[in-house]
A and B are shown apart, each in its own frame.
Chain A
Amino acid sequence: MKHSLSLCIALILLAGTAQARPLSYPGGPMLMSDNDVMQNNVFAGYTVDPKNAFGYRLMYDRDTASTFHGAQWNHLLNRWNNPDSQANLYLQSAVGVIDRQSEAPGQEYQPGAMTGILADWEDRRFFVSYENKVRIAEDEQWRNFTQSGRLGIAPYVAEAGSLHTWLMVQFDHRPQLNDTFTTTPLVRLFYDSYLVEAGYNIDEQTPLVNLMIHF
């Protein structure tokens, strides 16, 4: 019942990547959903070992009105475990098919891929991350490069099992947008195996909603 509810919430939100832990524990399934001005993303994955997770990515791109279906690999390149902090470097890559609904019948499908790195550092009070992504395809409109960074602070330090709250600011660099650089203040709430983020892009005046569940 708990898992069904989680799945329903995720599908309703139909979202992307929340700049947080794209790997779970070995044998652990996860669901991630990111939604912002550019895209709706869903990633359903399974962590096979301490460094690798595989799964299915569904991405709807608003700019090109296209849908990407692909197999994604999240790989932990390195992790630094310190007594009071942790830092991670991930590689996230996906290959699949782009469905361009605006194209003529017979020409709507073409192969596509994306890859990028995610780096983060956090302790129980502060959070910093950087993520980039390159999209590769024959379609020039679909190809792009994006990058973003985040700064976060926890207004209180929470113990395991209680509600964790983070106040964050996300900075995006998306060369294809009118506002190349945008800023999104957001709130991250963490409880048990659930992470929810809600924010508002003040330049594009659009909401951001992210969800992550580690089952």
Chain B
Amino acid sequence: MFKQILTIALLSTAIITPVFAADKTPVVKPVLTKTIHIGVNGMVCDFCAQSLKKVFGKQKGVETVAISLEKKLITLTVAPDTKLDDATITKLVTDSGYAVEKISRL
């Protein structure tokens, strides 16, 4: 009787375990942000950098703004549903007094 109970218990464990195991499978989280790189001409001083940082920082959905004078690059991280198309980016940069060299998205 004890052996039968033990056998049933082991079989049950064997059947149930994969179910739990399946539950432990790591969940791949969706990407919460996307990155936009903007190459800018004329961005040579810190006033330029700070101005552009303020302009892009005010845009809805923009989470971070990083500027490299060395690489002449603005790097934005934005929420995936953010509507920030190339035309809008170009207008923001141009209106700030600079020129867009290229825009790339990751």
Convert B38-75 into 0s and 1s, putting 1 for each residue whose CB lies closer than 8 angstroms to a CB of A.
Answer: 00011111111111111100000000000111101000
Distance in angstroms between the alpha carbons of A80 and B44 in the assembled complex? 12
Known: A50-B96, A50-B97, A124-B69. A79 touches B47 (CB 8 A): no
What total of A-B pairs shows CB separation below 8 Å? 81
Roughly how many angstroms separate A50 CA and B72 CA in the complex, as a whole number?
A: 20
Q: Kindly identify which residue among B42, B67, B94, B98 contacts A160, using a CB–CB cutoff of 8 Å.
A: B67
Complex CA–CA separation, A193 to B46 (angstroms): 8
Query: Looking across the interface, which residue of chain B has its beta carbon closest to that of A193?
Result: B50
A-B CB contact pairs (8 Å), 29 listed = A21-B45, A21-B47, A24-B47, A25-B96, A25-B97, A28-B54, A49-B95, A76-B97, A81-B97, A81-B99, A83-B41, A83-B72, A84-B44, A85-B44, A86-B42, A122-B45, A124-B69, A157-B70, A158-B69, A160-B67, A161-B46, A164-B45, A164-B46, A190-B46, A190-B47, A192-B46, A214-B47, A214-B50, A214-B51
Within 8 A of B (CB), among A138-160: 157-160
A82 beta carbon closer than 8 Å to chain B: yes
Give the chain A neighbours of B69 by CB distance below 8 A. 124, 158-160
Residue among A21, A23, A81, A158 having the largest count of chain B Cβ atoms under 10 Å: A81
- A123 contacts the other chain (Cβ, under 8 Å)? yes
77-97 of chain A: CB within 8 A of chain B: 79-86
Report the separation of the CA atoms of residues A80 and B98 in the bound assembly, to the nearest whole angstrom: 9
Query: Could you mark each residue 39-52 of chain A with 1 if its beta carbon is under 8 Å from any beta carbon of chain B, else 0?
Result: 00000000001100
Complexed CA–CA distance, A160 and B48 (Å): 9
Q: Which 6 A-B pairs have the closest CB atoms?
A: A81-B42, A160-B49, A25-B51, A81-B99, A86-B42, A81-B41
